[in-house]
Amino acid sequence: MTAIYIDADACPVKTEAERVASRHKIEMFVVSNGGLRPSANPLVKMIFVEDGPDVADMWIADRATRGDVVVTGDIPLAAKCIEGGARVLRHNGEIFTPENIGNILATRDLMTDLRAADPFRQGGGKAFSKADRSRFLSSLDSEILKAFKDV
């Protein structure tokens, strides 16, 4: 049965994902180590894991499988979920696939090395926009429809 797994730490589209889950009548697991307000929606399951590095990621990776959709900005988690057969997208609507995850991981590792070599390097991601939110909604809906066919 298809489910949505949300890596909830710093995820700006939890509300939008909940609306999509409700429309498709599928369960949504919101996974974090706390600090989130529970949803009254019976389809939304709040999962609070212990503090620790990658504990929420491991919870999701251990459960997400073929026919599921995962929302995360964590590239190593995305790779694990793809390996398990799940469909994965970022909160801006970018879709991770078996074809692109290798290059995305390599770019992440390169950028980590560049930042380590220049500790004064400043910067961050671009601001989350309305266009990102719209693209996310479209991508999530599309990936759920594909996930239904995967099972």
Per-residue model confidence (pLDDT) at position 139? 97
| pLDDT over 70 (residue 3) | yes
DSSP sequence for 24-88: HT-EEEEEESS--PPP--TTEEEEEPPSSTTHHHHHHHHH--TT-EEE-S-HHHHHHHHHTT-EE
pLDDT digits (tens, 9 = 90+) for 14-51: 999 999 999 999 999 999 988 888 999 999 999 999 99
Gap between the Cα atoms of 149 and 132, Å rounded: 26
CB-count exposure of residue 39 (10 Å: 0-12, 13-18, 19+): middle
Mean pLDDT across the chain: 91
Query: Of 135, 109, 134, 111, whose CA–CA distance to 121 is shortest?
Result: 111
Do the beta carbons of residue 33 and residue 55 sit within 8 Å?
yes
Percent of the chain beyond pLDDT 70? Answer: 91
Q: pLDDT tier at 78 (50, 70, 90 boundaries)?
A: very high
Instruction: Give the pLDDT confidence of 120-146 residue by residue, as tens digits.
Output: 766 666 788 999 999 999 999 999 999
Domain 3-150 class? Answer: alpha beta
> 109 in helix, strand or coil?
helix
Mean pLDDT of the 109-115 span: 68
pTM: 0.89
How far is the C-alpha of 131 from the C-alpha of 77, rounded, in Å? 25
Burial class (CB in 10 A: 0-12, 13-18, 19+), 31: buried
User: Quick one: pLDDT at residue 71?
Assistant: 98
